[in-house]
C-alpha cells in the first residue's frame, strides 16, 4: 500500500505542473467551447450592420409591397434605427421582350377601353330612345341600335379575349424577365434574396424565396414569418374585419418549453440542452483521455527507457500499476474539480446566465465525478495493457486512435440522442462499457428527474468491466512490461492471458 501511494504521488506530481496538463485543463476547454459556440453566435449576430435588399417579383395586383415593408420595419431594425430590410420591386422596363408585350397589351387595353365606351354610349342611347315617347321611328331605331349593341358586344368580347391573352402573356414575360433581372442582381450581391409572389397569393399561399445561400436560415425564416402575418392580415381585411381586431387576433403565441426536473420545472432551451450536453461529453472525454494518455505514455516510456527495471526491483508490478492508475486518476480528478469549481463560479456569479441552466447543479457534478472515475478506471486498465504490450509509441498510437474514435462516438450521436433519448439504440449503446460514461452524462443533462435505475445498472456494468479489465491488464502488464522490442500478436496476448 505504501508503495502504491508513493508511486501515485510521483506520477501525480511529475505531471501536474507539466505544460500539457495545464493546456488540457485550461486552454483546451476554452478553445473547444469557442469552437462550438462561435458558429451559433455568428449565425445569430452576423450581418446586422448593414441594410439588406430583398427583391420582390409580384405577379399579383396588390399592395403587398407596402405592407411587407411596413411589417419588416416594425420588426427588424438596425442598431442605428434604420430598417434592416428594404423591399425592392424588380423592374423589367429595360427588357425589349417586355416592351413589345407591353405595347401589345396597351393597344388591346385601349381598344377594349374605347369599345367599352362605345358600348356604354350605345346603351345610354338606347335608353334615351326607349324613354322618349315623341321620337319618330322609335321601333326602327331601337332595333338598329340593338343590332349595333350586339355587334359591339361581340366585338368587345373578342377584344376581351385578346386582352386576356396579352395580359397573361405580359404577366408571364414579366415573371420570366423579372427573374432574370433578379438573378443577376443576386449574383452581383446587390440583392440578398428575392421573393416571387404568385397570382392570387391570398388563396395559393405559396411564395418562392430565392437566394445564393438558402442554408442561411435567419433571413428566410424572418421572411416567412412576416409574409405569414401580412397575408393572413390581408385575407382578414378582405373579409372586412376591423383592423384593430386583426392585430388582436394575430397576436403571436410565444411557446416556452418547460421540463420537469427535481426542484421544479425549468425552461427548456435547445441551444443550452444541445451545447450543454456536447460540452459535458467532450469535457468527460478530455478528462479521461488526458489522464489516460499520461498513463499510457508513462507505461510506454518506462518500458522503453527501462526505468521499469528499477521500479520492479523495489515494488511489485501490481503496486506499480495501481500506483500509476491512482496517481494519474487523481490528476484527472483534479482536472475535473478545477472545471467544476470554474463552473460553480459561473453559477454563483451568474455569468452568462449560468445560474439559469438547470443541469448545472451540485448533484450532477457528483454524477460527473462518478462517471469520470468509473470511465477513467476502465480506460486506464486498457491503456496500461496497451502500453505494456507495445514497444514503440508509434504502434501504440494506432490503437490509441481507435479507442478515441470509439469514445468520441457519443458526441457524434448527440443529434440522434436529442431527437429520441429513449430509443432502443441509445439504450443499447449506453450499456456498452466503453460508451456508458458518455451516454450517461448526456442522459443526466437531458433528464431532470433522477435516473436511479439506469445509474445503478450502468454503474454495475462499469464496475464489473473494470474488475475484469484490471485483472486482464495486470496479467498483460506483468509480462509485457519486460518484453523489450517484441511485438505481440493478438494470439500471443491471448495465450499469455490463458497461461498465466
Closer residue to other proteins in complex, CB, 315/360: 315
To other proteins, the closest distance from the beta carbon of 313 in angstroms equals 4
- Interface positions, 286-325, toward other proteins (CB under 8 A): 302, 304-307, 309-315
**Residue 14 in contact with other proteins, rule: CB under 8 A:** yes
Told to check if 442 binds other proteins by CB under 8 A, we report no
Asked if 303 and 388 touch (Cβ cutoff 8 Å), the reply is yes
Nearest-CA neighbor of 220 among 348, 322, 124, 85? 85
Q: Whole-number minimum distance, CB 12 to other proteins, in Å?
A: 12
Contact 276, 346 (CB under 8 A): no
| Grid coordinates of 331 | 490528476
SS3 content of the chain, % helix, strand, coil (to 5): 75, 5, 20
By CB under 8 A, tell whether 494 contacts other proteins: no
Q: How far is the CB of 316 from other proteins (least distance, A)?
A: 8
**Span interacting with other proteins, options 5-13, 236-244, 332-340, 343-351, rule CB under 8 A:** 5-13
120 binds other proteins (CB under 8 A): no
Give whichever of 147 and 309 is closer to other proteins, judged by the CB atom: 309
Q: Left, alpha or beta for 485 (phi > 0: left; psi -120 to 50: alpha)? A: left
Q: Using CB atoms within 10 Å of the CB of residue 444, give its burial: 0 to 12 exposed, 13 to 18 middle, 19+ buried.
A: buried
CA dist 350 and 357 (Å) reads: 10
Q: Kindly state the smallest distance separating residue 18's Cβ from other proteins, in Å.
A: 8
Q: What is 65-89 written as a DSSP string?
A: HHHHHHHHHHH-B-TTSSBSEEEEE
Is residue 10 within the footprint of other proteins (CB under 8 A)? yes
Binding-site size, other proteins (CB under 8 A): 19
* Cα–Cα nearest to 446, from 425, 420, 427: 420
- Select the residue interacting with other proteins from 3, 73, 237, 343 (CB under 8 A): 3
Answer yes or no whether residue 496 interacts with other proteins by CB under 8 A.
Answer: no
Is residue 489 at the binding interface for other proteins, with CB under 8 A as the rule?
A: no
Query: Considering only 1-9, 61-69, 110-118, 266-274, which stretch makes contact with other proteins by CB under 8 A?
Result: 1-9
> Contact region for other proteins (CB under 8 A) — 4-12, 250-258, 349-357, 397-405?
4-12
- Tell whether residue 334 is a contact of other proteins (CB under 8 A): no
**H helix count then E strand count, the chain:** 19, 6
Burial class of residue 13 in the structure, from the number of CB atoms within 10 Å of its CB (0-12 exposed, 13-18 middle, 19+ buried): exposed
Identified binder of other proteins from the candidate list 185, 338, 463, 482, rule CB under 8 A: 482
Which is nearer to other proteins, 23 or 130 (by Cβ)? 23
Contact between 349 and other proteins per CB under 8 A: no
Q: Does 497 participate in binding other proteins (rule CB under 8 A)?
A: no
The Cα–Cα gap between 252 and 254 comes to: 6
Report whether 132 contacts 138 (CB < 8 A): yes
For binding to other proteins (CB under 8 A), which residues are involved?
2-3, 6-7, 10, 14, 302, 304-307, 309-315, 482
Amino acid at each position: 500500500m505504501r508503495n502504491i501511494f508513493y508511486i501515485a504521488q510521483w506520477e501525480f506530481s511529475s505531471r501536474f505542473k507539466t505544460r500539457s496538463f495545464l493546456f488540457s485543463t485550461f486552454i483546451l476547454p476554452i478553445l473547444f467551447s469557442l469552437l462550438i459556440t462561435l458558429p451559433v453566435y455568428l449565425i445569430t449576430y452576423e450581418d446586422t450592420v448593414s441594410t439588406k435588399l430583398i427583391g420582390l417579383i409580384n405577379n399579383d395586383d396588390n399592395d403587398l409591397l407596402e405592407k411587407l415593408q411596413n411589417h419588416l420595419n416594425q420588426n427588424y431594425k438596425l442598431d442605428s434605427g434604420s430598417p434592416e430590410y428594404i423591399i425592392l420591386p424588380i423592374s423589367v422596363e429595360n427588357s425589349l421582350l417586355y416592351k413589345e408585350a407591353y405595347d401589345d397589351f396597351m393597344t388591346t387595353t385601349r381598344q377594349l377601353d374605347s369599345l367599352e365606351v362605345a358600348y356604354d354610349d350605345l346603351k345610354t342611347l338606347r335608353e334615351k330612345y326607349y324613354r322618349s315617347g315623341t321620337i319618330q321611328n322609335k321601333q326602327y331605331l331601337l332595333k338598329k341600335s340593338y343590332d349595333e349593341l350586339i355587334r359591339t358586344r361581340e366585338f368587345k368580347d373578342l377584344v376581351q379575349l385578346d386582352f386576356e391573352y396579352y395580359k397573361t402573356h405580359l404577366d408571364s414575360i414579366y415573371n420570366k424577365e423579372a427573374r432574370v433581372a433578379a438573378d443577376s442582381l443576386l449574383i452581383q450581391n446587390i440583392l440578398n434574396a428575392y421573393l416571387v409572389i404568385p397570382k392570387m397569393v391570398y388563396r395559393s399561399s405559396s411564395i418562392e424565396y430565392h437566394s445564393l445561400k438558402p442554408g442561411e436560415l435567419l433571413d428566410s425564416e424572418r421572411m416567412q414569418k412576416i409574409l405569414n402575418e401580412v397575408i393572413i392580415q390581408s385575407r382578414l381585411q378582405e373579409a372586412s374585419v376591423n383592423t384593430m381586431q386583426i392585430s388582436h387576433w394575430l397576436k403571436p403565441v410565444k411557446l416556452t418549453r418547460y421540463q420537469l426536473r427535481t426542484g421544479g420545472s425549468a425552461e427548456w432551451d435547445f441551444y443550452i440542452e444541445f451545447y450543454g450536453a456536447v460540452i459535458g461529453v467532450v469535457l468527460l472525454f478530455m478528462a479521461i483521455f488526458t489522464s489516460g494518455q499520461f498513463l499510457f505514455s508513462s507505461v510506454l516510456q518506462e518500458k522503453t527507457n527501462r526505468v521499469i527495471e528499477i521500479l520492479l526491483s523495489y515494488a511489485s508490478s501490481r503496486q506499480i500499476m495501481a500506483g500509476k492508475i491512482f496517481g494519474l486518476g487523481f490528476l484527472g480528478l483534479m482536472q475535473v474539480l478545477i472545471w467544476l469549481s470554474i463552473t460553480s463560479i459561473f453559477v454563483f456569479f451568474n455569468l452568462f446566465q449560468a445560474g439559469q441552466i438547470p443541469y448545472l447543479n451540485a448533484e450532477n457534478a457528483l454524477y460527473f465525478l462518478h462517471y469520470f472515475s468509473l470511465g477513467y478506471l476502465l480506460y486506464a486498465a486498457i491503456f496500461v495493457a496497451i502500453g505494456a504490450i507495445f514497444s514503440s509509441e508509434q504502434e501504440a498510437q494506432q490503437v490509441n486512435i481507435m479507442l478515441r474514435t470509439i469514445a468520441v462516438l457519443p458526441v457524434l450521436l448527440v443529434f440522434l440522442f436529442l431527437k429520441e433519448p429513449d430509443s432502443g439504440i441509445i439504450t443499447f449503446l449506453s450499456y456498452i462499457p466503453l460508451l456508458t460514461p458518455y451516454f450517461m452524462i448526456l442522459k443526466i443533462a437531458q433528464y431532470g428527474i433522477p435516473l436511479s435505475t439506469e445509474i445503478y445498472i450502468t454503474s454495475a456494468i462499469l464496475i464489473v468491466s473494470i474488475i475484469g479489465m484490471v485483472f486482464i491488464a495486470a496479467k498483460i502488464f506483468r509480462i509485457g512490461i519486460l518484453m523489450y522490442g517484441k511485438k505481440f500478436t493478438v494470439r500471443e496476448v491471448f495465450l499469455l492471458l490463458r497461461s498465466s
